[in-house]
A and B are shown apart, each in its own frame.
Chain A
Amino acid sequence: MTPVATPFFFYLLSGLAVLGGVLVITRRNAVHSALALILTLLAVAGLYLMLYAPFVAGVQIIVYAGGIMVVNIERTVKERQFNRIWPVGLAASGALLVLFVSVLVKGKALFPERGLPLPEADNTQKIGEMLYGNYMFAFEIASLLLLVAILGAVIMTKKKI
């Protein structure tokens, strides 16, 4: 398969992702922000594809862009309210900034020189083996966490049980 991972596509997709991200926080209209966020998510899915991770890209589309954002938009459309929590936002973005800067500075030391060439054809199978083999325990913990989150959401939204 001919590589599509040309720099052009990388810059296009990351440009779209950044543009979407900027729009998310600058649009006053909640639904517009949500749409911009979808643009970002789709661009990121494209970036995953370029990294020869089609499965992650597909899951990104189906779960984030398709499922979560639809629910999100539904809620924003219904509620028409926007919460501004400045301190928390600032703290989170500050932490992220520190992380990014540190990766940028000491990046060479943190990661190996070259990533292993990932086989594209059996990418999904490899992920399956990883999830259900090497990292079974972490996977199960994560699903347990999600289960708890689901139960919590049900209890919180249901007025009377």
Chain B
Amino acid sequence: MTAETKNATNALSNLDLETPEKPYLDSNELIINMGPQHPATHGVLRVILKLDGEKVLGTECVIGYLHRGVEKIAENRTYTMFNPYVDRMDYVAAVSNGLGYCQAVEKLLNVEAPPRANYIRVILTELNRIASHQLWLGTHALDIGAMTPLFYTFRDREEILKIFEKYCGARLTTHAFRIGGCQYETYAGFEREVKEFVAFVKPKIDEYEELLTTNRIWLERTKNVGVISAEDAIALGVTGPVLRASGVKWDIRKALPYANYSEFDFEIPIGENGDTYDRYLVRMAEMRQSLRIIEQAVERIPEGPIMAKVPKVIKPAAGEIYHSIEAPKGELGYFIVSDGSTQPYRLRVRPPSFVNLQALDIMVRGLLVADVVAVIGTLDIVLGEVDR
């Protein structure tokens, strides 16, 4: 046992665990290291589980296996140079990360992206939201044991990645936006392809739902599993679909509209019970809402410039700024302190996955090992973003 494991184990035994009154049959408590090499921890998350048989008495997350020091790197790069790094945080929603960063710096510089750029941004970000949710659905279902949805979602996610590839040459770490707008004009046939994609993916979402939504086993595995109340969720700072599934109507696209989200007509799907099934339904509904936004945006996309007037050397005045957007996983915020030089003095990211992961412990206590997997899946964490 390494010193690290010992420490973690000690920390666990210090946890204020609800010990059952003197057990009638003496059974050993089992401490299991789930991860960092585990098929269902979505990367390199390590969860130390304290088990009584199969019942979870407590958990402790050990993170940092994918820590690359993104925030520190920012302090040694110019604003423009740092832009591609944010793609590497939540690598399944790279476009959203880029949007948040670019808008934060734009706010710092006091520039506005032109309308056409905003439309392109919204279309790509919403496409990315669908891609992120599809990946979530596939892996989540796989964790619960349904293999097939994974392949269906990957098949359809491919279409989104193709659009990204055609637009900016990259599929995953897109670096789609620049500070002040977009670098690339849309390619010929962009609108048509997006429209085609919307028509293509609508029945596919129904297909996923057909496999899962009314599936008896799926219902049993997800209903009343990993319940988190609205109060708890707010107290822990949980955001995104996890918060909305608990019945809180909080979506930054509506609450603090950025880009030009205020121009679109869409709804915020919310759940009631805050269980895994509600989170599933919320995300499924969100995919449909995203399609609605994309449809409207593609219809109304104006002509015009795609770049605002931004100086060649970005040198914002001293000051600080916080800007957050609704990433697929929740509130993604950038806090930038500028000392007037070309590099940020301090850059802090508020990653939704990291904050949401806090809820794991209260969500799985008293449940079974199999539920831990389901709850990790339903939190939709990306370790690149948790560890940064």
From A81, which residue of chain B is reached at the shortest CB distance? B26
Complex interface: chain B residues within 8 A of A156 (CB): 24
How many of chain B's residues touch chain A, expressed as a range? Answer: under 10
Is residue B304 contacting chain A, with contact meaning CB distance below 8 A?
Answer: no
Task: Please measure, in the bound complex, the distance between the C-alpha atom of A64 and the C-alpha atom of B20, giving whole angstroms.
Answer: 34
Complex interface: chain B residues within 8 A of A78 (CB): 27-28, 53
Q: Give a binary string over B5-25; 1 marks a CB under 8 Å from any A CB, 0 the rest.
A: 000000000000000110111
Interface size on A, residues (CB 8 A): 7
Are B24 and A79 interface neighbours, CB within 8 A?
Answer: no
Complex interface: chain A residues within 8 A of B21 (CB): 159
Is residue A157 contacting chain B, with contact meaning CB distance below 8 A?
Answer: yes
Question: A residues 108-161 with Cβ under 8 Å of B?
Answer: 156-157, 159
Are A80 and B28 interface neighbours, CB within 8 A?
Answer: yes
Are A157 and B28 interface neighbours, CB within 8 A?
Answer: no
From A159, which residue of chain B is reached at the shortest CB distance? B24
Are A79 and B26 interface neighbours, CB within 8 A?
Answer: yes
From A158, which residue of chain B is reached at the shortest CB distance? B24
Complex interface: chain A residues within 8 A of B20 (CB): 159
Task: Please measure, in the bound complex, the distance between the C-alpha atom of A154 and the C-alpha atom of B222, giving whole angstroms.
Answer: 29
Complex interface: chain B residues within 8 A of A81 (CB): 26
Task: Please measure, in the bound complex, the distance between the C-alpha atom of A157 and the C-alpha atom of B23, giving whole angstroms.
Answer: 10
Question: B residues 30-80 with Cβ under 8 Å of A?
Answer: 53
Task: Please measure, in the bound complex, the distance between the C-alpha atom of A157 and the C-alpha atom of B26, giving whole angstroms.
Answer: 11
Task: Please measure, in the bound complex, the distance between the C-alpha atom of A139 and the C-alpha atom of B330, giving whole angstroms.
Answer: 66
Task: Please measure, in the bound complex, the distance between the C-alpha atom of A79 and the C-alpha atom of B26, giving whole angstroms.
Answer: 7
Task: Please measure, in the bound complex, the distance between the C-alpha atom of A121 and the C-alpha atom of B27, giving whole angstroms.
Answer: 48
Complex interface: chain B residues within 8 A of A79 (CB): 25-28
From B22, which residue of chain A is reached at the shortest CB distance? A159
Complex interface: chain B residues within 8 A of A159 (CB): 20-21, 23-24
From B23, which residue of chain A is reached at the shortest CB distance? A159
Task: Please measure, in the bound complex, the distance between the C-alpha atom of A80 and the C-alpha atom of B27, giving whole angstroms.
Answer: 9
Minimal beta-carbon separation of B31 from chain A (angstroms): 15
Question: A residues 62-109 with Cβ under 8 Å of B?
Answer: 78-81
Are B24 and A157 interface neighbours, CB within 8 A?
Answer: yes
- Residue of A80, A157, A159 contacting most chain B CB atoms (<10 Å): A159
Complex interface: chain A residues within 8 A of B26 (CB): 79, 81
Complex interface: chain A residues within 8 A of B53 (CB): 78
Q: Give a binary string over B296-339; 1 marks a CB under 8 Å from any A CB, 0 the rest.
A: 00000000000000000000000000000000000000000000
Q: A residues engaging B (CB < 8 A)? A: 78-81, 156-157, 159
Listed A/B pairs (16) with beta-carbon separation below 8 Å:
A78-B27, A78-B28, A78-B53, A79-B25, A79-B26, A79-B27, A79-B28, A80-B28, A81-B26, A156-B24, A157-B24, A157-B25, A159-B20, A159-B21, A159-B23, A159-B24
Seed contacts A157-B24, A159-B24; 14 additional CB < 8 Å A-B pairs: A78-B27, A78-B28, A78-B53, A79-B25, A79-B26, A79-B27, A79-B28, A80-B28, A81-B26, A156-B24, A157-B25, A159-B20, A159-B21, A159-B23
